[in-house]
Amino acid sequence: MTDERRGIEAAGPPWSVDLLADLHAGVLDEREAAQLWPRVQSDPEARAIIEALEATTADLASLATAPAPPMPAEVAARIDAALAAEAQGVAPVVDLAAARRRRNQRIGWISGVVAVAAAAVAAIAIVVPGSSDQTGTPVAEPPASSQSGGSELALRSDQPQAAVGQLSTGVKDYGPFGDAQRLSTCLQQVGFAPAVSPIGVRPGTLDGQPAVFVLLTTGKLAEFRLVALAPDCGPKPLLDRVVGK
């Protein structure tokens, strides 16, 4: 990759999409990410690529939780007519209500397969290989930091943007809070609305002190609100910063 041969310090226009994708996915080390984020945020070309990656990631991730579209009415009517004809014909008698239940079960199985496929596509979009000269069949794997038990996120309070790529992938590791309910209770305790919904949660350290990082949306494209909470919640956040603008 061109930027790797020149070194991170020389990265810039023309920007390598691979490099920006690695930065967005949080796979660069902290020193490299800290060097690149300020330059990326100040360069319109680089920001456009990051925003496109962000929008694509959000769209694909939403497919995994989106409800299955309803079956078209004319298709359902044709299936019901076929089932009714089967029940009245020479074939063994079939209970129409039971047949409809089986039909609905099949629809549910298909929806589940679609959701799993969408999640796999989202994972591939999030993890972009850093080199094009790999052999064999590529297998997309989430960064080690996004898996439960992986290395913790170490963040400095003067470089909050370095956490965006590692928290915007949708990973929710509640750490000392244990689950979403206890995290929500803490967020309300420090002043957030009950309806706030994190897009990423991960334990780590802030300036060397234990913390739980929470990434929230702001309603603006490629702009987030990064909150760091003490493991015991505390009376106020350790950090509350808008990043990515």
Number of other CB atoms surrounding residue 162 within 10 Å: 25
Q: How much is the average pLDDT of 73-78?
A: 76
- 123: pLDDT confidence band, cut at 50, 70 and 90? very low
Q: In this structure, are residues 16 and 131 in contact, taking their beta carbons and an 8 Å threshold?
A: no
**Whether residue 85 has pLDDT greater than 90:** no
**Strand 224-229 to strand 209-217: parallel, antiparallel, or no bridges (unpaired)?**
antiparallel
- CA pair distance 53, 47, nearest whole angstrom: 10
Name the one residue in this structure whose structure tokens are 């579209």.
69
* DSSP secondary structure letters along 138-164: ------GGGSTTSPPEEE-TT-GGGGH
Q: Whole-number mean pLDDT of the chain? A: 74
d(C-alpha 127, C-alpha 60), whole Å: 13
Pick from 184, 231, 196: which is nearest to 212 by CA? 231
**138-196: per-residue pLDDT in tens?**
444 443 333 444 467 899 999 988 888 888 788 899 999 999 999 999 999 999 988 88
CA-based nearest residue to 226, from 208, 207, 212, 236: 212
pLDDT tens digit string along 210-228? Answer: 999 999 988 887 788 999 9
CA distance 229 to 209: 11
Under a CB-based contact definition with an 8 Å cutoff, are residues 218 and 224 in contact?
A: yes
**pLDDT for position 94:** 54
pTM score of the predicted model: 0.43
Q: Three-state DSSP class for 240?
A: strand
